[in-house]
Structure 1
Amino acid sequence: MATGTIRYWAAAKDAAGTAEEPFEAVTLAELVTNITAGRDELKRVTARSSFLVDGDPVGLRAHDAVVLPEGATVEVLPPFAGG
């Protein structure tokens, strides 16, 4: 199980009530399940968000296939308005 930091941006930060927090998870799917338990608004925001793992976009990869390395920084990027 990897430990690391998850950072929230924009609407995700508002929904989480914090800019960042530590995590323990093996995959991105497990991490999202853990952070959204009992946090309905955060669950709604993450469902439409993009993710970066150590600066690399997850893209369309299945979240259960994204294994998190020890010390990873995961960033939650909700859709941004504007151009």
Structure 2
Amino acid sequence: MTATLRFWAAAREAAGTAEEPVAAATLGAALAEAVERRGGPDGGGAQLLRVLARCSVLVDGMQVGRADPGTVALHEDSVVEILPPFAGG
């Protein structure tokens, strides 16, 4: 399963890219892959992990909310939007 992660604002800065493909069947696996690519939670991925903890996530336009990322299914060509909190309106 190939999905696309799109990082916005502070998430883009922490990821070092605006967008990247991942091969994952669940949101949890996709986010873990993104963290691992940056050195894991104990390396360079720690900054991304901290930002992800504060982000809202949309999968194919639907808000994930507080759902367990391991239970959120991704489909071929799913788009995951990772949105940090924004100031202002």
Q: State the TM-score, normalized to the length of structure 1.
A: 0.92
Take 1:77 and 1:41, find their aligned partners in 2: how far apart are those partners?
A: 15
Asked if 1:55 is matched to 2:61, the reply is yes
Unmatched segments (≥5 aa) in structure 1: none
Question: What displacement does 1:16 show?
Answer: 0.7
Take 1:46 and 1:33, find their aligned partners in 2: how far apart are those partners?
A: 10
Asked if 1:33 is matched to 2:39, the reply is no
- The equivalent of 2:70 in structure 1 is 64
The structure that is strand-richer by fraction is: 1
Unmatched segments (≥5 aa) in structure 2: 40-44
Take 1:60 and 1:47, find their aligned partners in 2: how far apart are those partners?
A: 11
Q: State the TM-score, normalized to the length of structure 2.
A: 0.87
- The equivalent of 1:46 in structure 2 is 52
Take 2:26 and 2:70, find their aligned partners in 1: how far apart are those partners?
A: 6
CA RMSD of aligned residues (A): 0.9
Aligned positions, number: 82
- The equivalent of 1:74 in structure 2 is 80
Q: Deviations over 1:29-63 (max 9, x none)?
A: 11111101221111110111111111111011111
- The equivalent of 2:42 in structure 1 is none
Take 2:5 and 2:21, find their aligned partners in 1: how far apart are those partners?
A: 6
